């Protein structure tokens, strides 16, 4: 180890896959940098990284948050964190090795800045404060559906609800959509999304705004919504009414055992389920708005 090299703390939490989001979101917000998530023995293993001068305070907050989630019965009894100390160079190597280039298709690649350019159409985006880097199953499935459903004739307008990092909005622009409105109720997320849109030279096609479904402007040829199952159900009619006839809706953020109820909420609004994807415990779906008397 080099003299005077800073020592980082890698904090590891093992949770059931269905509790991955609240824990990873908390750790991402707390640390201000991306977390690493991997599957192991049926659990989601989440690694967060703490700088030396923040570790004591942050560890207390992590312990309190885990305790609260246990009391709310959102985590099993005995849920704890583990700590490993890493020299700074090793931390950078671990962090970067777990966030690599994501290849969706020859039209769509998501690349962190430290990875070698591929020569394909890329979204350059580093893990950070806002959700959505292409490494999470729900984001990746949304990108696959977006890539597959946008052909040579891309919809003119797209609405990305709960944009997070802005990754789906930027992908829509890269795939040919000329007017994309990306919104999020979280001001931190919209700030990150705005920067990512600028950094990917998509600001002539993507607008970022703070807000929710009420910010939608008329009808859209495609809507993306990577949200929780409860939000997707509650907003079903509001989302459906902003789809043009024949318009496409891509949703994710729901677990397998939540899928049926969510799909029913949208079919009651007249939408047809065109395709369902599963990865790990997560589900994504492509739905279509009816045309005329369909």
pLDDT for position 240 = 97
Residue 265 sits in the same domain as residue 165: yes
- The CATH number for 62's domain is 3.30.70.120
For residue 96, pLDDT over 80 is answered with no
Residue 73 sits in the same domain as residue 31: yes
pLDDT for position 128 = 66
- Going by C-alpha positions, the residue among 279, 165, 151 that lies closest to residue 222 is 151
Whole-number CA gyration radius for the chain: 20
For residue 8, pLDDT over 50 is answered with yes
pLDDT band at residue 4 using 50, 70 and 90 as cut-offs: low
| Domains identified in the chain, total number | 2
Residue 185 sits in the same domain as residue 58: no
Distance CA 208, CA 192 (A): 10
Residue 86 sits in the same domain as residue 225: no
Could you tell me if residue 182 is inside a domain?
Answer: yes
pTM above 0.85, yes or no: no
User: What single DSSP character describes residue 195?
Assistant: H
Mean pLDDT, to the nearest integer, of 190-215?
Answer: 95
Residue 136 sits in the same domain as residue 173: yes
- Going by C-alpha positions, the residue among 235, 237, 218 that lies closest to residue 157 is 218
The structure tokens listed for 243 are 């789809």
Q: 30: domain range? A: 7-97
Tell me which of 77, 97, 117 is where a domain ends: 97
For residue 1, pLDDT over 60 is answered with no
Mean pLDDT, to the nearest integer, of 62-91?
Answer: 87
For residue 293, pLDDT over 70 is answered with no
In contact, 197 and 182? CB cutoff 8 Å: yes
Could you tell me if residue 2 is inside a domain?
Answer: no
pLDDT in tens, 125-147: 877 655 666 777 889 999 999 99
pLDDT for position 160 = 98
Could you tell me if residue 23 is inside a domain?
Answer: yes
Mean pLDDT, to the nearest integer, of 249-260?
Answer: 92
Residue 57 sits in the same domain as residue 197: no
Could you tell me if residue 280 is inside a domain?
Answer: yes
> Among 54-58, 79-83, 145-149, whose mean pLDDT is lowest?
54-58
pLDDT band at residue 252 using 50, 70 and 90 as cut-offs: very high
């Amino acid at each position: 180890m080099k003299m005077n090299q800073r020592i980082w703390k890698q904090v590891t939490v093992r949770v059931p896959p269905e509790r991955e989001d609240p824990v990873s979101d908390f750790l991402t917000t707390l640390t201000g940098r991306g977390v690493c998530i991997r599957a192991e023995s049926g659990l989601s293993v989440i690694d967060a990284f703490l700088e030396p001068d923040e570790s004591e305070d942050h560890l207390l907050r992590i312990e309190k948050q885990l305790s609260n989630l246990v009391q709310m019965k959102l985590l099993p009894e005995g849920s704890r964190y583990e700590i490993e100390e890493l020299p700074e160079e090793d931390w950078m190597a671990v962090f970067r090795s777990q966030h690599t280039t994501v290849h969706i298709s020859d039209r769509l690649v998501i690349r962190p800045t430290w990875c070698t350019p591929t020569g394909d159409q890329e979204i350059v985006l580093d893990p950070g404060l806002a959700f959505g880097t292409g490494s999470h199953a729900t984001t990746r499935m949304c990108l696959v559906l977006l890539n597959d459903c946008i052909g040579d004739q891309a919809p003119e307008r797209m609405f990305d609800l709960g944009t997070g990092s802005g990754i789906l909005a930027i992908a829509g622009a890269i795939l040919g959509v000329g007017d994309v409105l990306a919104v999020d109720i979280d001001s931190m997320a919209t700030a990150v999304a705005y920067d990512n849109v600028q950094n990917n030279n998509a600001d002539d096609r993507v607008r970022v705004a703070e807000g929710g479904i009420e910010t939608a402007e008329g009808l859209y040829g495609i809507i993306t919504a990577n949200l929780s199952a409860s939000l997707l159900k509650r907003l079903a009619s509001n989302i459906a009414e902003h789809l043009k006839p024949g318009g496409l809706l891509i949703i994710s953020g729901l677990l397998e055992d939540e899928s049926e109820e969510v799909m029913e909420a949208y079919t009651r609004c007249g939408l047809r389920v065109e395709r369902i994807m599963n990865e790990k415990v997560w589900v994504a779906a492509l739905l279509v708005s009816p045309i005329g008397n369909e």
